[in-house]
Structure 1
Amino acid sequence: MPNSDQVLPIVDITSSSAAQQVYDAATTLGFFFINGTDFTADEVDNIFALSKSFFALPYEEKQKFAIQSHNRGYSRMNKEKLDLSTNGDPKEAFNFGQFDNDGKPIQSLPSIFAHNELTIAKHAQKCHATCNKVLDLLAEALQIDPDRGGNQWFSSRHNLNQYSGSILRFLYYPAQDDADLNHVRAGAHTDYGSVTLLFQRPGQEGLEVRSPVTGEWLPIPALQARHDKSCPPIVVNIADQLSFWSAGVLKSALHRVKSAETVQARRRDRYSVAYFCHPADDTLLEPVPSLVISSVQDRGPADPGNQYKVLTAGEHLAKRLAAAYDWEK
């Protein structure tokens, strides 16, 4: 199996070659690490501490904020089914929707989060700004017509002042005493939005991405920070809506979470924090005015499941969530 440190490049998004590096990664495996962000180690540690405190609460307290079809709130063990052939994922999650300009959430929060809402809001806003930076780099590499939006073509459709499906998500995978190394903690899936950021903890591995070339599942390490005060490299992956927009040029790869050998041997819980970046709900997933994409011979449909209608971002998200949670039933 290839060495995952070599499979995933680490891109400094402040470098002069960042656009080409991000594009190369996005058009092959669809996963890469980034450095050069504004996150500090303390900020990330605080977010993980809040997450751990919440998931330690009694089930009854957490269930008061049960997730609904708006995709905000607490998702209990086995509630979400990312791989529709399974009985659900043995994990818990809490989803935060958007925050207003004053850092106020659009949802009711448990007291542990309500008392720290500004900290959480700032983290979500910083995540969104980082995603927009990645989107600008991709737009630069795609040579989008300057008269049509140029390098801001994607990010202009990800304005926080517009309603979208963007979600900050705290994730908890409890240690499973009876699990073996084939135990899947989050089923194989692609993400629903445009770009995802993932913060991991060293020693709590388990994320795997499927190679589109070999079909192998490649383990993604949780890398250490370069120095004590810096944030460790953040995993970035391309998601479905960006793939649809680009006629498949940008790859939305299958990934999952398993019981990594070192984690399972030590019966360790796993925590991660993800930010799922989505364009405004009314954004059409129409072809990007890109010189690079226009050179692709087989453009394919905007939505492989709906060839005669260009979906909006909101419509695509609603379809995927309904399937994952059985809300359509």
Structure 2
Amino acid sequence: MSGNPLKIVDVSNIDQATGDEIFKAANTQGFLFIEGHNFEAEEVEELFKLSKEFFELPLDYKMKHLIDQTNHGYTNYNGENLDPSIQKKGDPKEAFNFAQLNLINGDTVKDYPTWFTEDPKKEKIIRNAITKLNELNLRILKLLAIGLKIEDDEVQGENWFDDKYKPDKPSGTTFRLLHYPGQKKVDPESVIRAGAHTDYGSITLLFQQEGQEGLEIYSPVSKSWEAVPFVENNEAKFPGKSPPIIVNIADQLSYWTAGLLKSTIHRVKFPAKVQATGQDRYSIVYFSHPNDDTKLLPVPSPLTKDIKGRGANNAKEIITARQHLDKRLASTYNFY
């Protein structure tokens, strides 16, 4: 499919119309773009610059901060395997995860590498991104609650997710820097850079750059792979803001809503023009998760209550968000 397969939603306002728009996109494609966010173009450019500088550090330095069971740290090339049926050696990319987060101030239970803390500006860039992405995540959750028409005797519907995403409580929420080396720097047969997968948490927020496309979704609508393009900012409407941010529903939120919200399979596959130029791809991702102790009970929505045999509506035992995440991490990294 040519063009942009995803809806672009303005999230400036928290109201029924916007909630309905986001719900429709989440219920059909599982992916969308959002504009009307609070990210300036300059601060996102600084993030990408910082990410590039980190991945250019010597490998022996990065390897001192290897990822562990906490999901915090550096993943070397082929260290993550999102689709073992395709990538026998693992995905040809590298990443750094900031996990075990305090979302009030962007701090981590695990230490930042000294490369980020030696210059207060670097650390501030990361911390600000984490806290602002959390605010944006909570805004999207409010809109989804409105779209789901959540009904609860104890809390106003749009606030239903709030006490399940307390910013100072442990969660699997992770901020991730990613680097996919250009085609000339890895096995030329490695067209797939991140195998087909779904995300583990509730909502994923993704920044990508112009000329570094590669994200593809397996559309639940067309039943085919569709490329997600770079979309420019509407400067007339949002002067100085960064381009629209990609949002996708992940496994926990799909499970919570009995599959009504789609956790869509996606991958990174370098398009022909990127393969030809050898252009590297950098992306920045925020994986939102509910607090670890959150029980994944069915969401109290009239839209989901009659869905039988799926997700939380079909659970023989109630699991927590942490239990759900641990199962996925174990299969990806072979920690356990």
Q: TM tier, shorter chain?
A: over 0.9
- RMSD (Å), alpha carbons: 1.8
Q: Is the 8 A contact 1:248 1:299 kept in 2?
A: no
Q: Is the 8 A contact 1:40 1:229 kept in 2?
A: yes
Counterpart of 1:92 (choices 91, 94, 103) is 94
How far 1:269 moved relative to its partner? Answer: 0.3
Change in Cα spacing, 1:100 to 1:11, as seen in structure 2 (3 Å) is closer
Q: Which amino acid aligns with 1:110?
A: P
Change in Cα spacing, 1:229 to 1:83, as seen in structure 2 (3 Å) is same
- 1:157 matched to 2:164? The reply is yes
- 1:50 matched to 2:50? The reply is yes
Q: Which amino acid aligns with 1:140?
A: I
- Which runs of no fewer than 5 residues in structure 1 stay unpaired? none
The number of residues matched between the two structures is: 323
- Which runs of no fewer than 5 residues in structure 2 stay unpaired? none
CA offsets 1:231-262 (integer angstroms, 9 cap, x no match): 10000000000001000000000000001122
Matched with 1:10 is 8
- 1:242 matched to 2:253? The reply is yes
The percent of aligned pairs where both chains have the same amino acid is 44
Counterpart of 1:166 (choices 158, 164, 173) is 173
Matched with 2:332 is 324
Counterpart of 2:193 (choices 185, 190, 194) is 185
- Once residues 60 and 204 of structure 2 are traced to their aligned partners in structure 1, the CA distance between those partners, rounded to angstroms, is 30
How far 1:145 moved relative to its partner? Answer: 1.2
How far 1:297 moved relative to its partner? Answer: 3.7
Instruction: Please show how residues 145-294 of structure 1 align to structure 2 within 5 Å.
Output: 145-149=151-155, 150-177=157-184, 183-227=191-235, 229-294=240-305
Large movers: runs of 4+ above 6 Å:
none
Q: Which amino acid aligns with 1:14?
A: S
How far 1:270 moved relative to its partner? Answer: 0.2
Higher mean C-alpha displacement, 182-191 vs 273-282: 182-191
How far 1:103 moved relative to its partner? Answer: 4.4
Q: Is the 8 A contact 2:212 2:282 kept in 1?
A: yes
Higher mean C-alpha displacement, 307-316 vs 53-62: 307-316
How far 1:187 moved relative to its partner? Answer: 0.5
Matched with 1:300 is 310
Structure 2 counterpart SS, 1:198 = strand
Structure 1 counterpart SS, 2:303 = helix
Change in Cα spacing, 1:203 to 1:302, as seen in structure 2 (3 Å) is same
Q: Is the 8 A contact 1:180 1:259 kept in 2?
A: no
Q: Is the 8 A contact 2:180 2:280 kept in 1?
A: yes
Change in Cα spacing, 1:213 to 1:11, as seen in structure 2 (3 Å) is closer
Matched with 2:149 is 143
Structure 2 counterpart SS, 1:287 = coil
- Once residues 140 and 67 of structure 1 are traced to their aligned partners in structure 2, the CA distance between those partners, rounded to angstroms, is 37
CA offsets 1:12-60 (integer angstroms, 9 cap, x no match): 0124521111000000010000000111001101111110000000100
- Once residues 171 and 244 of structure 1 are traced to their aligned partners in structure 2, the CA distance between those partners, rounded to angstroms, is 27
- Once residues 313 and 100 of structure 1 are traced to their aligned partners in structure 2, the CA distance between those partners, rounded to angstroms, is 17
Q: Is the 8 A contact 2:180 2:281 kept in 1?
A: yes
- Once residues 52 and 213 of structure 2 are traced to their aligned partners in structure 1, the CA distance between those partners, rounded to angstroms, is 17
Matched with 1:75 is 75
CA offsets 1:71-113 (integer angstroms, 9 cap, x no match): 0010000000111322211000000121464543322222331
- Once residues 155 and 255 of structure 1 are traced to their aligned partners in structure 2, the CA distance between those partners, rounded to angstroms, is 28
Q: Which amino acid aligns with 1:51?
A: S
Higher mean C-alpha displacement, 104-113 vs 189-198: 104-113
CA offsets 1:149-201 (integer angstroms, 9 cap, x no match): 31111232111111000000000000122666871000000000000000000
Relative to the length of structure 1, the TM-score reads 0.93
Q: Which amino acid aligns with 1:271?
A: Y
Structure 2 counterpart SS, 1:202 = coil
Structure 2 counterpart SS, 1:27 = helix
Change in Cα spacing, 1:103 to 1:19, as seen in structure 2 (3 Å) is closer
How far 1:119 moved relative to its partner? Answer: 1.9
